[in-house]
Amino acid sequence: MARKILLLFLILVLDIASYGQEPQAAKIALGSKTAKDGFRNETEIAGKFNNWRTDEDAKIWLATMNYKIAEIENVAATKPHGEKADVQVKITIKKRDFTEGISIKLVSSSNGFNQIDKRWLATYAKIWKMPADVVAALKFFLGETKPGKPSRNADRMFLNELSSEARAAVVDFFTANKSNILSDLFKGDGRQSAAWMMVALKSQEKPRWVLRNIEDTIRFFGTGNVSITRSGNLKIGRITMQRKGGDGGRETAKMLQFKINPVLLFDAK
């Protein structure tokens, strides 16, 4: 009889322990969760990190980044300006500081696109060491060089309107340099580079977030061939390269822009 009572007691203890641990462990493993109230901006996310002792989301984020909550002494989150990391988190453990940069994409729709990088062609040409024929082709694409033949737009040419040689030069360049290019677009370099990407879906019905390390993020969005789309833009895996456009016709409309649908990261394997 005593053995049966002891056995029942042990089963009850194990059930209670697993009830408290399994859901959180699953969420940490997935790196995603439904948020209770959603997030308005990067400042609010930084604030949640700073309140890590009581904020349940922040605890899961830190655990997702492979930190043991019981070992953390302090967390300080800041917002660097003009860097790939929208929020920089400094974690102190045993008087040692560890810094994590997080690129944050706040989206309100599951079908929206979000810019990951935008610069002048001359800047990309310099850092990526673009050959002259690729630069010349992209100048037509952006409207820096006016079309020399009829085009769908009198001020520019789409990639599928270029000569077969020019199209091949563009596709071959981005294919050969894909790894370095994607690292620049997502991660950046230096002390304020991004080691993680967080996507926060600001849905009124079901706000949620996902946190992935940047290498897995690059691998996911970069999966696929480099190709020219029917609309005349460039597709690099799940990334679209296009002319910025808009801006009331100002020169900044001629900048080169790279975009993704961040919500796809929720389904990344």
- The model's pLDDT over 195-247, given as tens digits with 9 standing for 90+, comes to 999 998 876 666 788 999 999 999 999 999 999 999 999 999 999 999 998 87
Classify residue 205: in a domain, yes or no: no
Total residue length of the chain: 269
| Gap between the Cα atoms of 178 and 54, Å rounded | 42
Average pLDDT, stretch 79-102? 92
Classify residue 95: in a domain, yes or no: no
Phi and psi, residue 223, nearest 5° = -65, 125
- The model's pLDDT over 150-182, given as tens digits with 9 standing for 90+, comes to 899 989 999 999 999 999 999 999 999 999 999
What phi-psi label fits residue 135: left (phi over 0), alpha (psi between -120 and 50 degrees) or beta?
alpha
Considering only 1-5, 27-31, 82-86, which range has the smallest mean pLDDT?
27-31
Classify residue 127: in a domain, yes or no: yes
Res. 81: pLDDT tops 60: yes
Classify residue 37: in a domain, yes or no: no
Contact criterion met (CB below 8 Å) for 101 and 88 = yes
Classify residue 136: in a domain, yes or no: yes
| Gap between the Cα atoms of 252 and 36, Å rounded | 39
Q: In what order do the strands lie in the sheet with 87-93?
A: 32-34, 208-213, 196-201, 96-107, 87-93, 74-78
Classify residue 195: in a domain, yes or no: no
Domain that holds residue 235: 114-186+223-267
Task: Give, as one character, the DSSP assignment of residue 156.
Answer: B
When divided into structural domains, the chain yields a total of: 1
